[in-house]
Amino acid sequence: MKIAIEELAGCSGCTIAILDLHEALLEIVEKAEIVYAPVIMDVKEPPDGIDIAFVTGAVRNRENEERLKQIRKKAKTLVAFGTCACYGGISGLSMLDSPEHLIQHVFRGVATTRPDASLPQEVPQFLYRAFAVGDLARMDYYITGCPPKEMYLSKILPALLAGKVPALSKKSVCSECDRIMGSVEGWKLKRRHEGVPDREHCLLGQGYLCFGAVTFGRCGASCPHSNVPCHGCNGPSLDILREPCRDIYNMMIRRIADLTGHTEAEIEKEMYDVAHTFYPFTIGSLIMEDKGISKIRDLVRERSR
C-alpha cells in the first residue's frame, strides 16, 4: 500500500494532524509506505502507482491546479483532506480582494513597507478565484476539519488503508455539545469577545454567534466545550451540503429566529462582518457559492470592487 500527501495552498496543519497520530503512525507505516510527503521527506515529485493520496490545501494558482490533476492521475484513491481541500478554507478569504490589490497592499501598504517597494514579478499568478479541490477534480472521499482531529483520524486512516470505510457520525457540532438550551428570553446579539459566557447553556441562546448548528461535527465540540463559540471550521453540516435551499447564512438566521421569536429581518439587521464570521472557511468553495441563496457572491463583489 503506497500513500502520499500532496500540499496545495494551506498551512501544513493537515500534515501535522497526521503526525499527531503519534505512536499510532508507526503502526500505519508498518502496513503502508509513505512514498511522497514534502514536509517530512525528500522525494521531490509524486511517483506513479500511489494507492491512496491525501490532498490538503485549496487551489489558488495554476500550479496548484496542475498538481491536483497530476495527483489525481497517479492515485487510485484520492482523498480531499481538511477544510481547505474540502471547501477552500481560510485561503478563500483572499477572494475578498482582487489579486492586484492584495499584492499592492502587502508589499506597499503596511506600516513597515515603502510605497515604492518592488513587487514580486517572477512568481506564479493567481487564478481568478480560489477553488476547493472537489470543484476541479473527482474526489473519492472527503475528510473535513481544520485540521481533522486525532480521535477520528485514528479510526479513519487504518480503515481506509484496509480498504474499508468506517461508519462515523455525520451529525453537527451541536450533537457533540454538552450544553443545555434552557429558556431564551430577551435575546440580543453579542460580539464574541463581549462578557463571559456561562458554561451551562447554549452559546447561541446566550447571544453569541456559535455555528455549531450549521457545522459538521467530529471535533467533540471542542470550542463550545472550552467556552468558545464554534467558528465553523469543519465546514457545513450535512443538511446544508445536501439541500440547495439551505446555506450557512440562511440556516443560522432561521435557527436564531426559531430560538428567539424575533423575525429573520430583525436578526439580519444585527449581523456584522458576514464574510469573516459566516464564511471564513467556505468562501473559496464553488459549490457553496453556487447555492442561489449564498451570500458569498455578494460579499466578493462588494469587497473586490
Partner 1 sequence: MTQITISPVTRIEGHAQVRIWLNAQKEVERAHFSVVELRGFEKFLIGAAVEEAPRITPRICGICPTSHHLASAQAVDQIFGVTPPDTGRKLRELLTHAQFIHSHAMHFFMLAAPDFLIGHDAPASERNMLGLAKQSPAIARNAIEVRKLGQRITEAVGGKPIHPSNAVPGGVSRPLEEGQRAALLTMARQGLAIAEQGWELARTLLDSTDLTLGAVETGFSGMCRDGKHSLCEGTVQIAGKDGKPLGSFTGADYVQHIQEYSEPWSYLKFVKLASGEHYRVGPQARLNLCREMGTPLADAALKEYRARFGAYVQAPLAANLARYVEFLASCERTIQLLEDPAITGTKVREPAGAVVNRRGVGILEAPRGTLIHDYTVDERGFIEQCNLIVATCQNSWAIDRSVEQAARGLVRDGVLTEAAGNRIEMVIRSYDPCISCATHSIGRKPVAFEVLDAINI
Residues of span 118-147 touching partner 1 by CB under 8 A: 118-124, 126, 130, 146-147
- Cβ-based neighbours of 167, under 8 Å, separated by 6 or more: none
Q: Which amino acid is at 108?
A: R
Looking at residues 256 to 285 of the shown chain, list those that interact with partner 1 (rule: CB under 8 A): 272-273, 275-277, 280
Q: What does residue 61 show for φ and ψ, rounded to 5 degrees?
A: -135, 175
Determine which residue in the list 27, 31, 43, 73 makes contact with partner 1, applying CB under 8 A. 43
- Please identify, using beta-carbon distances, which residue of 37 and 79 lies nearer to partner 1: 37
Interaction residues for partner 1, span 219-258 (CB under 8 A): 219, 222-223, 225-228, 231, 233
> Residue 15 corresponds to which cell in the numbers above?
500534515
Among 1, 77, 141, 150, binds partner 1 (CB under 8 A): 150
Q: Which of 1, 102, 136, 159 binds partner 1 (CB under 8 A)?
A: 102
Nearest distance from C-beta of residue 19 to partner 1, angstroms: 7
- End-to-end Cα distance, the chain: 49
Residue written as grid cell 424575533 = 262
The interface region with partner 1, picked from 102-110, 167-175, 261-269, 285-293 by CB under 8 A, is 102-110
Q: Which residue has the cell 496542475?
A: 66
Q: Is 91 a binder of partner 1 (CB under 8 A)? A: yes
Quick count: other Cβ atoms within 10 Å of Cβ 222? 14
Contact call for residue 67 and partner 1 (CB under 8 A): yes
- C-alpha grid cell, residue 247: 446555506
Q: Of the ranges 25-33, 167-175, 179-187, 239-247, which one interacts with partner 1 (CB under 8 A)?
A: 25-33
Q: Does residue number 19 form part of the binding site for partner 1 (CB under 8 A)?
A: yes
Q: Is 25 in the site for partner 1 (CB under 8 A)?
A: yes
Q: How distant, in Å, are the alpha carbons of 75, 88, 222, 256 from that of 204?
A: 43, 26, 15, 8
The interface mask with partner 1, positions 284-303, x = CB under 8 A, is -------------------x
CB half-sphere exposure, 155, CA atoms < 13 A: 11
Question: What burial letters (b/e) apply to 126-149, b meaning 16+ CB within 10 Å?
Answer: bbebbbbbbbbbebeebbbbbbbb
Binding mask 171-190 for partner 1 (x = CB under 8 A): --------------------
- Asked if omega into 224 is within 30° of 0 (cis), the reply is no
The count of chain residues that interact with partner 1, using the rule CB under 8 A, is: 89
By CB under 8 A, name the one of 27, 29, 171, 198 that touches partner 1.
29
Q: Which listed range, 14-22, 245-253, 254-262, 285-293, lies at the site for partner 1 (CB under 8 A)?
A: 14-22
What DSSP line would sit under 195-224, residue for residue? S---SSB-TTTTTB---GGGBB--STTHHH
Q: Which stretch binds partner 1 (CB under 8 A): 71-79, 86-94, 242-250, 290-298?
A: 86-94
Give min distance, CB of 244 to partner 1, in A: 28
Nearest CA to 153 among 304, 254, 5? 5
